[in-house]
Amino acid sequence: MTPLIIDTDPGVDDAFALAVACLAPEVELLAVTSVHGNVPVEQTTENARRLLGTFGRPDVPVGRGADRPLVHLLDGRADDVHGGDGLGGRSLDFGPPVDESPLRAVALMASVLEQATEPVTIAAIGPYTNVATLLSARPDLEERIGRFVLMGGSIGYGGNVTAAAEFNVWGDPEAARRVLAGSVVPTTLVPLDLTMRITLSADWLDDLARESPIGAALSSTREAYLAAYSARFGTPAIAVHDAVAVLEAIRPGSARTMPMPVDVDTSSGPGRGATIGDMRGAEAVVLGRPVDVALDADATFVRAELRRRLCAKRS
C-alpha cells in the first residue's frame, strides 16, 4: 500500500485526480488538504468534501489550508476555465460532503506524518503553499515524507497563465522554490510538457460517463473546461494535469523522468513563476539537488489506466 496525502485546489482535473486516488486499491489515502488556487480556499475545501462524499470516502479527513500565497496576493483565479465554483457549476451535484477536520491543513499533515509507520507520499496538485509551510514549520518531519509528486511547472512548453509560468507555480512561486529547490525529499515534478500531451477527447468523456456513476459525475463538470481547452487545442479535448500526476504517485513509473536541478523565478518581472530546469547534464556546474522531471509517457497507456481506475468499484 502507498500511504498518500493529497494537497489540492479542486478544480475539474483535481476531481479526476481525487477519484483515481479514492478508488485505487493499492493506496491508503490518509488525508486531503485544501489550498487556494483555482478558486478561493473556502470553495476548494467545500469541493474536496463533496468529492470525497461522492467517491464514498467519509473516512478521509479534509483539512482546510492556506487562503493566500506566502508573500504576494494572487491577482487572478482560474474560474474562467473551471467555472465559478471550480467544478463547472456542478459542485452542488456532488456529495453529501464529508466532515471537515478540526485540524487545519498543515497540522493535519503533521499529525499524519507523526503517526505514520512508513514514509508517506505527498501529492501536491495545487499551489504548494501548505507543503512549503509544513517544511518550514516542521523540518523534523521531512524524513517521514517518502516522496513528493508535484503537478506544476513547465521546462520547455511555456506557461498557461503567463508566457512563462504554469498556474500552480505562479500561484505561489516562493512556496514552489522552497519545495523544489530547498527540500531533501525525493521529488517528481509533472509539468505541462507532459500533461498537455495527454488529453481526453469529448468522446472519451462520453464513454466514461456511460461506464460508471463516478465517470458520469466527473464528465458533468466539463463544459467550461472543455470549451477553454477546445479553443486552445482546436479540437474537443481536455487535459487532466492532476490526474496524470496522481497516477504517477500511486503507480511510480507511469511517466518517464529525467533528473535535473529545478529552480523557480521569484522576481517581480515577466518571468515570475517560471520553472527553470537545468538540462545541461553531469558536466554542468549546478547548485541544488536533482528533481525527477516527468517529460514523457505512453499516452495510450495513461488514458487506458485512467479509464480503468475511474470505472473501478472500491472494494
Give the whole-angstrom CA distance, residue 238 versus residue 88. 13
* DSSP structural state of residue 19: H
Sheet holding 290-297, edge to edge: 62-63, 27-34, 2-8, 120-124, 145-151, 187-190, 290-297, 255-264, 275-277
Which residues are marked as active site?
241
Evaluate the CA torsion angle 93, 240, 48, 248 in order and state its sign: positive
Helix (H, G, I), strand (E, B) or coil at 10: coil
Question: What DSSP letter does each residue of 67-86 carry, written as one string?
Answer: SS-SSS--S--SHHHH-TTS
Characterise 281 by phi-psi region: left (phi > 0), alpha (psi -120 to 50), beta (else). Answer: left
- Residue count of the chain, please give it: 315
